[in-house]
Structure 1
């Protein structure tokens, strides 16, 4: 039977502190589906002080996910904004 490894992560409120620039994190966000059903999801992303969009727009202090979707904190963006973040846990050692 495979060994189970349990780890804890510390979730940080995105309104209280932002992660270091360029570091991979897990971002938690909440939103609402078109039918009105609320949802929560965690995504792999990184934080950057300045993100340049293809149209030349510069977005400050934002989170970018693996699909290159740019998000702000929930308090700034509302639906689909990042509420909390945490660092990735350390991988197990052999």
Structure 2
């Protein structure tokens, strides 16, 4: 299990910058064993000390695909509810 988003912005602001932004919906934390995933600063945080408790259940309802499962072949798998990303061109560079 891995959080593919590191954007600390809130819901709408995060999604403007990143198509897999964590929206802090807490579905992953609710569906996973207690304490495995928490939400901190608008972002899912996995406690890897409890990694033995991890399963795909925690990623299945993620609406953006911000939290993913890495299988035994090191392939990234999104949950069933994750939206598909269909990008027609590269995202513009963000200027400071």
Q: Judge same fold: TM > 0.5, yes or no.
A: no
Task: State the TM-score, normalized to the length of structure 2.
Answer: 0.23
The structure with the largest strand share of the pair is 1
**Higher RCO (CA-CA < 8 Å; seq separation 6+):** 1
Higher CA-based Rg: 1
Task: State the TM-score, normalized to the length of structure 1.
Answer: 0.23
